Each structure stands twice: as C-alpha cells, then as structure tokens.
Structure 1
Amino acid sequence: MDSRSGEMRVFTRVVETGSFSAAGKTLELTPSAVSKVISRLEERLGVLLFQRSTRHLAVTNEGRLFYDSCVRILDDIDEAEHGIAEGITAPHGALRINVSIPMGTHYIVPLMPLFTARYPGIRVDLSLTDAVVDLQRERVDVAVRTGPLSDANFHARKLGSTGRAVVAAPRYLEAHGVPQAPEDLAGHRCFNFNFRRAMDEWPFRIDGRVFHFPVRGDILTNNGATMRQMTLEGLGISRLGLFHIKDDLASGRLVELLPDYNPGDIEDIHVIFSNQRHMTARVRVFIDFLVETLSPRLEA
C-alpha cells in the first residue's frame, strides 16, 4: 500500500469505521499495517490526523480537512476508472447537493426525475436546509442559495432572482390590524429565522431612501417553509420570497403589506460550488442543467 491514493483509501476507511481494526477488516489488512500507513501519512504531512488513546480514536481538525479532500480525490479517481473500464464518457459518482427547503421543494425536487433520467450514473445526495452550510466541512459539491453571498471561498453562478414581500394572512390582520407604515411593525408579531443571515433586518423605502428595520417576535424558525405555514395559520407577519408564495397571494390566502414601501426588494439566486482547480463532470453537468431548466423559471 505504497501509492498515495492507496494511503488515502486506508485513511478514509479509518475515519468512517472509527478504528484501525475495523478499517483493516474491510481492506483485508492487519491493524498494525493500517497503523503504519497512518503513521507514514502523518510523518509526510507533518500533522497529526488522529488523537489516539487506549479506548478512543478521534479525528483532528487537520484530519477532518484532509478527509474531505481525500473523499473528493477518490471520487474523481473512481469516476475516471469506471468510465474507462466501461467505455462510458457520461458523468458518474456521488453528487452532494444542498438547497433551501422552499427552493428545494418548489423547484429542485421536481427537476430530479429529469436530471436522473439524463444522467443515470450520478448518485444524487440531496439535503434541504435553510441554514447556510460550509461546503467543504459538510462535503457538499454544489448548493443553491438565495440572498447575499458573504463567503469568497467558492465560485458562484447566478441562476436568477426573486422578489420578496412582507405578508400576512387575512385572519391575522382582522385580529391585529393592518400596519400602515414600517414603524407600525414594532407592535406586531414578525417572524424571523433562528440562525444568522447576511441581513436580518427588513428593508423599506421611505422618502426615496432605503432603511433597514429590525423586527421582533416570539416565534423563530429555521426554514422558510415553516415560516410560510405559520403565516398562513394567522400567527404573524413574514417577509418571504415571491417564488414560494405567489400562489398564496393570487388566491388571497396571504396579503402583501406595505407595498408602497417595498424598495424593489429582490434577492439573487446562485448556484455555488467549491473553489477548486478541477471541477468534476458531475458538478459541471448539474450546474449546466440548472441554468438550462431552472433559470428560465426564476423571474424577479
């Protein structure tokens, strides 16, 4: 087991199984052979990959970063070898996707049948969450995000944009009144997220200038889908993307508030991917697929 890719396979298996002996069983190696490979790796890299004790084996921060890189490299090797062996040029391998719950529910999930039919060799691993994840730490290949981008450690390609509006259900307004100006929101229950975003305040245009108002309420949530549902139930006021409430507005289930103060509240939607020298075929075709199928549907 002298090749670097071989060492990487041993290392990743140790991380995934949690011990030298368990990794050795799956690789048909003795625990001492596995230990020698890890020691050789640590010596060459000049870092400690595992914290060892008589009862516990823990991956260090350096080990976790190295593991993420190894997984990507080994995936690329497997994809290349599979394509050559089978005479296949189509993309293969695992594609890890992260997207917000509303965007995933309304757009990405409905597109999956078309994508998997077009690229049957790609194994899709799709996670829906509104919290912003670290692509490298969570081993995400590509993500779709709405709003400002604050991290420069990745590449981004714009897919489109979506307007946003402050909305409430008619029954909430009947019970609590209709705010006539942004300042009136201080007396209302306004929903917000329970995780940090690039901007938590709500923007309004007053006398030609844009002001950002902090809003407060006694209910927080971690995703836009739940926030929409609570708003529909008449529990409070939300600021939501038009892409997943346009039917609610058209049917009257939700009512837009303070439209004269809306500053052209628009957020861009991007597909983002790690800043790497080499983009795998599976990532490239998925990005191209989104530009082809999703971009035409995203209008401000």
Structure 2
Amino acid sequence: MDNRFGEMQIFLAVAQSGSLAGAARALRLTPSAVSRAIARLEARVGVQLIARTTRALSLTAEGEVYRDRVAGLMAEVDDVERDLGGAPDTPSGPLRINSSVPFGTQCLLPILPRFTARHPSVQVNLALSDELVDLVESRADIAIRIGPLRDTGLKAKKLGRCAMALVASPAYLAARGTPAHPRDLAQHACLQFSFRRSLDTWPFRVDGALVQRPVEAAFLGNSGEVVRMMAVAGGGIARLGRFHVAADLAAGRLVEILTAFHPGDGEDIHALYVGHRRLASRIRAFLDFLEADLRLP
C-alpha cells in the first residue's frame, strides 16, 4: 500500500525535531521505522532529502524545498478536514518566534501573556538572539526583523517603525560634559556594535542638511542590550532604538542628547514568515495580535 501521507508526516517530524530519535518519540514509532520511511521517501523522489553524519542531521537544499511544500500540503489537508467536520479553526500547537534581544525583552515579553491568555492551546517558544538567524534553518514560524530586509522570498508584515535616539547617562555627561554639536562627539566615548550591520558613521541634520558624522568606537558590543547596559553604566554615548531605551529615559538612567540635530530617521520593523495560501491559524493569530496590541514608543 502506498503510504505517502504517512511518510510525509514522518519527514516533517524529523525536520522539526532535528533527529530520527526525536521524530520517533513524537510519533511513537521506533527509530528504525522512521529511518526506513525516510529511505523509502528518498528512493521515491530520487534525491537525498536529509544529510546524515555520526553526530548531526540536517536537511539538504532539496529537503528544505520538500519540507516547505509538504508543510503547505499538510495545512491544506487540515483545512479540508476542519471544513468538512465543521470544527472551528482554533489556534493550537507550537509557535516558534525569533526576535532580537532588545525587541523581545522590551516589546514582546510585556505583551505575550495577553496572547497566551487568549490562545491557551498555543505553546509559544520564544528565542532571543541578535544574530540574523535563518528562519527556515532555525525552524521558526515567525522572525521579527529590524532594519532593511534581504530578498529572502519570505512574507513580511510591517509592524511599525523604530525611531532612534542618541543617549548617555547623567553620570557620564557630568564627568565629560554634554556635546553641543555633532562635531563634539570626537571628544567623547562612543559606543558601537561589533556585528556586521554596524556603521562607522551616525546621521545628523546640520543647517538643514543631512550629514554623516564619522564615529570612532571606544567600545564595541555584540548586541543592543550590551551597548545599552554600557551606556547606563556611564561608559559613553550610544545610538539605540527609542523602544529599547524608553524605560531608561523615563527613569532618568539615560538622557537624550543632540536632539536639535536629530535626523528624523528610523528603521522599519517586520514580522517575517513562510507564506502559504492557507496560513496556519496559530501564525495568523499571532500576526493579528501584533498588529492590534504592539505599541512602540
């Protein structure tokens, strides 16, 4: 008997868990049964879908394409069965979200309890990292990205725009003085990022013209949170998203400076996801939740 559907389910379980043993536990099968099903599947399609070593398992390029297409087919099957049975499209199952550390801690975590209360059948798995992880490789359902988007072929939902702020602690300004003009930054300790998106200039509007001021970093941090904490500790001047430092500004831990020269720039914030004709209800519910409940300072 042709059991393509079952083999597809097994393959998706392997892709999600990252191991044959993990898929076997999730499906209540033996590892050997999972291995045989994958072997039959690869023999039928004529290409290797899973690369195996003694220590790790990963999808090949063909395996990634197959996974994305099959996931869409499985969603279609679920929709057909729900429609025929009249069952409500209730969001449920695991929801994997990836976000930067600042956005996750300052914007997502404060509102996530409202989402889980509304959708108790959804299990949220939130991973925070300032590295630009691949949405497919990390098996995330939704990734929050700040700044320019690469042409990844993913769907993108704009959540808002992140305004920027130039900040320093009162203790630092008391010790080093408050810069009155962007050119004064040459006499100050400036805090920068060490990752590849970091720029060695900061924009300002001077006499009506937009200028880029070279910045020599006195300190490099590998995340926005590291840079923020260094600024709060009195280590220098930082340029960060306003949402990231809003609480520090309100509490007086940081002070905004050079506001008269603010260029009015910002970075767009998007939620990225793999688009299917019928999006999984848990993903659709979270995107709708972000649109309704997310507030940016």
Instruction: Give the TM bin, normalised by the shorter chain.
Output: 0.7 to 0.9
Q: Give the match for residue 215 of structure 1.
A: 215
| 272-281 or 59-68, larger mean C-alpha shift | 59-68
Distance between the aligned counterparts of 1:221 and 1:30, measured in 2?
Answer: 44
Deviation, 1:238, is: 0.6
Question: For the structure 1 residues 75 and 237, does the alpha-carbon distance in structure 2 shift closer, same or farther, using more than 3 Å as the test?
Answer: farther
Q: How does 1:1-300 map to 2 (within 5 A)?
A: 2-12=2-12, 16=17, 18=19, 23=24, 27-28=28-29, 31=32, 34-51=34-51, 58-59=57-58, 61-62=60-61, 65=64, 69=68, 72-73=71-72, 76=75, 87-197=87-197, 201-294=201-294, 297-299=295-297
The share of aligned pairs that are identical, in percent, is 43
Distance between the aligned counterparts of 2:109 and 2:22, measured in 1?
Answer: 40
Distance between the aligned counterparts of 2:244 and 2:22, measured in 1?
Answer: 50
Gaps of 5+ in 2: none
Given that 2:94 and 2:124 are in contact with CA atoms closer than 8 Å, whether structure 1 keeps it comes out as yes
Letter in 2 for 1:62: A
The SS at the match of 1:219 is strand
Question: For the structure 1 residues 227 and 25, does the alpha-carbon distance in structure 2 shift closer, same or farther, using more than 3 Å as the test?
Answer: closer
Question: For the structure 1 residues 269 and 189, does the alpha-carbon distance in structure 2 shift closer, same or farther, using more than 3 Å as the test?
Answer: same
Letter in 1 for 2:193: F
Distance between the aligned counterparts of 1:244 and 1:21, measured in 2?
Answer: 38
Given that 1:9 and 1:74 are in contact with CA atoms closer than 8 Å, whether structure 2 keeps it comes out as no
Distance between the aligned counterparts of 1:35 and 1:250, measured in 2?
Answer: 57
Letter in 2 for 1:147: G
Given that 1:172 and 1:234 are in contact with CA atoms closer than 8 Å, whether structure 2 keeps it comes out as yes
Distance between the aligned counterparts of 1:30 and 1:264, measured in 2?
Answer: 57
Deviation, 1:133, is: 2.2
Deviation, 1:81, is: 9.1
Aligned residues: 295
Deviation, 1:22, is: 8.9
Which string of whole-angstrom CA distances, capped at 9 and with x for unpartnered residues, describes residues 77-97 of structure 1?
796599688944311121111
Distance between the aligned counterparts of 1:71 and 1:222, measured in 2?
Answer: 37
Distance between the aligned counterparts of 1:44 and 1:200, measured in 2?
Answer: 53
Which string of whole-angstrom CA distances, capped at 9 and with x for unpartnered residues, describes residues 102-122 of structure 1?
222222112122111211111
Give TM-score, length-normalised by structure 2.
Answer: 0.81
Given that 1:50 and 1:57 are in contact with CA atoms closer than 8 Å, whether structure 2 keeps it comes out as no
Given that 2:51 and 2:57 are in contact with CA atoms closer than 8 Å, whether structure 1 keeps it comes out as yes
CA RMSD of aligned residues (A): 3.5
Which string of whole-angstrom CA distances, capped at 9 and with x for unpartnered residues, describes residues 257-282 of structure 1?
22222111222222222243331111
Deviation, 1:150, is: 3.0
Letter in 1 for 2:210: V
User: Which consecutive aligned stretches of 4+ in structure 1 deviate over 6 angstroms post-superposition?
Assistant: none
Question: For the structure 1 residues 188 and 14, does the alpha-carbon distance in structure 2 shift closer, same or farther, using more than 3 Å as the test?
Answer: same
Letter in 1 for 2:233: E
Give TM-score, length-normalised by structure 1.
Answer: 0.81
Deviation, 1:159, is: 2.2
Distance between the aligned counterparts of 2:185 and 2:140, measured in 1?
Answer: 38
Deviation, 1:143, is: 2.3
Given that 2:20 and 2:34 are in contact with CA atoms closer than 8 Å, whether structure 1 keeps it comes out as no
Question: For the structure 1 residues 107 and 30, does the alpha-carbon distance in structure 2 shift closer, same or farther, using more than 3 Å as the test?
Answer: closer
Distance between the aligned counterparts of 1:41 and 1:126, measured in 2?
Answer: 32
Deviation, 1:241, is: 1.6
